[in-house]
Amino acid sequence: MTIAHHLGFPRIGAKRDLKWALERYWKGEITHDELQAICKRIRNENWAQQIQAGQDFLSVGDFSLYDHVLDLSFMLGVCPDRFKPAPGEIPTDTYFRMARGSAPTGTDTFACEMTKWFDTNYHYIVPELSEAQQFSICHTHLFTDIIEAQLLSKKVKPIILGPLSYLWLSKTQGAPFDKLALLPKLQKVYLDILTKLQAHNIEWVQIDEPILVLDLPLHWQQAFQSTYQFLQVNNLNLLLTTYFADLGKNAQLATALPTAGLHIDAVRGKQIDDIVAILPENKILSVGIVDGRNIWRTDLRQALQTLTHVKNKIGERLWVGSSCSLLHCPVDLQMETQLDPDIKSWLAFSIQKCHEITFLARALNQTTQTIEAELVASDNIVSAKKASARIHNAHVKKRCQEVTPDMMQRKNPYAVRKVAQEASLNLPLFPTTTIGSFPQTSHIRQLRQQFKSGQITEKEYHASIKQEIAFAIQQQLELGLDVLVHGEAERNDMVEYFGEQLQGFAFTQYGWVQSYGSRCVKPPIIYGDVSRTKPMTVDWISYAQSLTDKPVKAMLTGPMTILGWSFVRNDQSRQETAKQIALALSDEVRDLVKAGIKVIQIDEPAFREGLPLQKEYWSDYLREAVLAFRLSASCIPDHIQIHTHMCYSEFNDTIEAIANLDADVITIETSRSAMELLKAFENFNYPNDIGPGVYDIHSPRIPTTSEIVHLLEKAAAFIQVKQLWINPDCGLKTRDWKETRLALKNMVSAAMLLREKYSLT
Ligand code: GLN
Ligand code: ZN
């Protein structure tokens, strides 16, 4: 019998129940017992859904109070000294302190680092391992959850992150050492865990080793062999799961490991046939065919065809699964009452995906009477979607086809443009600017709320936003900044703001996905050809510009960021969608120029996030990403200055692509590393202007003038003085005005000191 299973269910609850519970607990509004009761309810609701969908296993280990990697650290006793529990402290509180940063006495200590989970928008808590690290089973939540699930079903599948991925994703503390030196100790504790699982009557364990899709150094590849040889427990089957890409060069390694089963991602990976060909006899192959990373309904007939082909070769050894954990999908499509019915019919969220998986398995087993009826229903939706006038816009498609290389290239090289821009903008040495947003005060948020709920009219809302803009301009004039911004008071989110105004985007009510801990995001859905029907920012920016003779910098979100932070189409390439977005943005750029705007920033904070997991695909991605940016930004005369912004400066491996963007000015994050990251610029002669962020906007601390001067002097060691700008390292929307004013005042003073110093030499 073909088994139906998913690789993990969302833990936030259909209405973000976990978020609300956590926040109330942290504020002291509910007790620990109440928090636990809510979590138990979410787990039980998740299991009820899985049972109802006919899944062959209930999943355990996918629920987490904050993050599953932190859960594992906690279970293994990996707790840095600075978080050692206070006497009598409940473990959950120690756990939260690790995630959120405070010492046992309640004083602040830095939290564990958080970083992106592979190429997703989920963030995990990075384990910190010391050279003398010991591991033992310190917490037993995994086993208590199993007992809880076993009350509902005999078939429970625990999910646990594998030892090699755990090690790979962790960082070392103290003097550097080879993490693999800890592997023997880690193997022992994993063997203990597996032995205990077997004692809990577990038959199958899902052991996630997503690093198998990465380019692994040889000694890591070898470590897989020895580890899985060691992790053998009688009567316990391991399903080794890989996801987010195909196995690439690790295909042979992964299939040959001594585990009872292997799971591959058949949505992002394109290797099914290769894997089937080398699959050892007796090994189970779980084919992840239902997309765990996107919200589209599965084309059931096509999926069944693929699976049948596999089944013909491996028979009963085939399992059907989600491509990866459903953590990256919203919970329940049924909750969407306001979505356009056509669009809704094209979608499936986690619950619906569980049903799809089960249907496919049952269809393979021929145990469902309604196979053909369901396939026909699916076909109808597939063909209706294909033909839908909502998706296809002939004008957009034609425009995309007619894109020529000259449209992705400024007319003249930067050296020529720089002269024209100097004449037009007349800026001093070390020009000062900010990244776009100014404090989103509670007043601004309230206005938006009132407008959305109909308490105030559009006219009233616009008038109030204009007041905010005027205030921001006034503040910047008083501070003496050189290139001003309007402050982004009208935006609550840099992608949503544009998505709401572009054709081809849909928004859900409950389409939340966990980003980290209690934080969730609701990505827009790009379902159709993207176009702009009218200007999106011109009124606000023109108004700001009308208040001052100094240049006001317009703010747009770049194509790769809009793409990266949305659910994207699966019926055309990402590159094609990026092109459409870029063309829509170029329309906006042109209109801004027509309105007399001379400086335009196109933010690309998600540029790096889009990098493929395997290096061999990097150059393709970078080429497409650069072209999309340039398509949005090249349609303008030389004297118009294009800025871009990225919230990081790890440019060592991408600096050429960054330079290829050919933005006149790039502002980046460098303050937290005290300009260390500018080393990428040491061996690379970056041609255009750069604003290395001079202070960390994430901290309420006010930087001093001399500190800023010092940082800029450090930057001047890597970059020519005439290329340098002075700015904070990101937008100021999370800060308050008092901090903002004080920090910017010091920043402007620093610019003056530097001008004096460097104009003399
Ligand atoms: N212009 C945006 C802002 O200032 C940029 C945000 C970002 O880099 N993430 O808020
Ligand atoms: Zn930023």
pLDDT digits (tens, 9 = 90+) for 471-515: 999 999 999 999 999 999 999 899 999 999 999 999 999 999 999
C-alpha 332 to ligand 2 mean position (Å): 32
Pocket mutation for ligand 1, best pick of 437, 557, 561, 565 (most atoms within 8 Å of C-beta): 437
More confident call, 742 vs 650: 742
What atom of ligand 1 comes closest to residue 557's alpha carbon?
Answer: 1
pLDDT, position 90? 93
Please name the residue whose Cα sits nearest to atom 3 of ligand 1: 731
Q: Which ligand is nearest to the CA of 601?
A: 1
> How far is it, in rounded angstroms, from Cα 139 to Cα 148?
16
Whether the CA torsion 656, 662, 664, 669 is positive or negative: it is negative
> How far is it, in rounded angstroms, from Cα 610 to Cα 565?
10
C-alpha 648 to ligand 2 mean position (Å): 7
pLDDT at residue 325 above 80? yes
Q: Which ligand is nearest to the CA of 693?
A: 2
pLDDT, position 212? 98
C-alpha 553 to ligand 2 mean position (Å): 16
In the numeric block, the tokens 């990251």 are attached to: 677
Q: Which ligand is nearest to the CA of 732?
A: 1
pLDDT at residue 760 above 70? no
Structural domains in the chain, sorted by start: 3-287+305-325 (3.20.20.210), 407-759 (3.20.20.210)
Q: What is the mean pLDDT of residues 192-205?
A: 98
Instruction: Find the length of the chain.
Output: 761
Q: What is the mean pLDDT of the chain?
A: 96
Which residues surround ligand 1 with Cβ inside 6 Å?
435-437, 488, 494, 555, 603, 605, 645, 647, 730-731, 733
Neighbours of 270 (CB within 10 A): 11
pLDDT, position 367? 79
pLDDT at residue 453 above 60? yes
Angle between helices 68-76 and 141-150 in degrees, nearest 10:
120
Q: Provide the CA 18 distance to its chain's centre, in angstroms.
A: 20
C-alpha 524 to ligand 2 mean position (Å): 20
> How far is it, in rounded angstroms, from Cα 500 to Cα 406?
30
What atom of ligand 1 comes closest to residue 645's alpha carbon?
Answer: 8
Tokens read off for 546:
């009308």
Tokens read off for 232:
């053998």
pLDDT, position 761? 56
Query: Does 200 qualify as catalytic in the annotation?
Result: no
Q: pLDDT tens digit string along 684-700?
A: 999 999 999 999 998 88
Q: Strand 552-557 and strand 599-603: pairing?
A: parallel
User: Which residues are bridge partners to 516 per DSSP?
Assistant: 519
pLDDT, position 671? 85
Q: Report the percent of the chain where pLDDT is more than 70.
A: 100
pLDDT-based confidence at residue 636 (cuts at 50, 70, 90):
very high
Residue 599 has φ and ψ, to the nearest 5°, of -130, 130
pLDDT-based confidence at residue 587 (cuts at 50, 70, 90):
very high
Please name the residue whose Cα sits nearest to atom 5 of ligand 1: 731
> How far is it, in rounded angstroms, from Cα 583 to Cα 396?
9
Q: Using CA atoms of 590, 595, 600, 603 in order, give the dihedral in degrees to the nearest 10.
A: -70
Please name the residue whose Cα sits nearest to atom 6 of ligand 1: 731
pLDDT at residue 369 above 90? no
pTM of the model: 0.96
pLDDT at residue 455 above 70? yes
In the numeric block, the tokens 């936003």 are attached to: 465
Q: pLDDT tens digit string along 371-424?
A: 999 999 999 999 999 999 999 999 999 999 999 999 999 999 999 999 999 999
In the numeric block, the tokens 């504790």 are attached to: 189
200, 462, 639, 698: the catalytic one is 698
pLDDT at residue 101 above 90? no
C-alpha 10 to ligand 1 mean position (Å): 28
pLDDT-based confidence at residue 126 (cuts at 50, 70, 90):
very high
Residue 452 has φ and ψ, to the nearest 5°, of -65, -35
Q: Which ligand is nearest to the CA of 648?
A: 2
Please name the residue whose Cα sits nearest to atom 9 of ligand 1: 605
What atom of ligand 1 comes closest to residue 647's alpha carbon?
Answer: 8
Q: Strand 123-125 and strand 156-161: pairing?
A: unpaired
C-alpha 41 to ligand 2 mean position (Å): 38
Q: Report the percent of the chain where pLDDT is more than 90.
A: 93
